Amino acid sequence: MKLEFFKYQGTGNDFVIIDNRQDIFPKNDTKLVAELCDRRFGIGADGLMLLENDEASDFKMVYYNSDGGQSTMCGNGGRCLVAFAHYLGVIGETCTFNAVDGLHEATVDGDIVKLKMIDVDEVHEMPNHIFLDTGSPHHVQLVKNLPQFDVQKEGKRLRYGLYGESGSNINFVEQEDGDVFQVRTYERGVEGETYSCGTGVTAVALAMHESGKTSSSEVHIKTLGGDLTISFEKSGEKYSNVYLKGPAIQVFKGEVEC
């Protein structure tokens, strides 16, 4: 069959998106997902998303990693799917949608999408890193000379060596200014470095606040693919009203034979 698809990117984190409100996509075909995400033999993407009907919200988000496996929450993916829903006319400038980690709110202002992330009440500080879950598990580690750091080698070593087969995403961070941080991320499921990771930069912002590296409740993150802003409130041990804000752009659309 011929399948219509759309390609979106959020700070270089790129996704194949399909309107699946008519239940046309073979959701159990993980091989097909991997083929569509392949950068040499397919469309090419960090992941694939389906926009589906949902009784409790404006739409449902179904997300697959580029290896074909269904994944935990993807922040940049969520922002791109909101932009897609707005393009289709499914939503206006505000919406709610269901994802694997629950209900999310979002707003659209031109190419900028602001997405509410889940609350976080557990931040685990270790001697050399911080671990927390922002919809996906994240290891956050400060390093020096980040532009020359071997993210692929060290990310893979930690992803498997420290966290086993189930793994964790690995974020390497260097502070640029009081509330400005550079971040590079090794993503499980992609099994390599991506240009940006939404849940990852959210984890970095909260981790840097928790560890006292910044006192600001609005943190600015620079990734290989662009800049993102994370804002939040903290009460006791809990981080709430966590928002991820940045661009979400439609790159192209087309048809592919399946």
- What is the set of active-site residues? 74, 197
First to last CA, the chain: 5
The three-class DSSP label of residue 127 is coil
Q: Is 65 among the annotated ligand-binding positions?
A: yes
Q: Is 187 among the annotated ligand-binding positions?
A: yes
Q: Which residues of 62-72 are buried (b: 16+ CB within 10 A; e: fewer)?
A: bbbbbebeebb
Q: Is 174 among the annotated ligand-binding positions?
A: no
Q: Is 188 among the annotated ligand-binding positions?
A: yes
Q: Is 210 among the annotated ligand-binding positions?
A: no
> Which two structure tokens, joined as six digits, stand for 84?
């897609």
Q: Is 169 among the annotated ligand-binding positions?
A: yes
Distance CA 208, CA 258 (A): 45
Residue numbers belonging to the annotated binding site: 13, 65, 75-76, 169, 187-188, 198-199
Residue numbers belonging to the annotated binding site for substrate: 13, 65, 75-76, 169, 187-188, 198-199
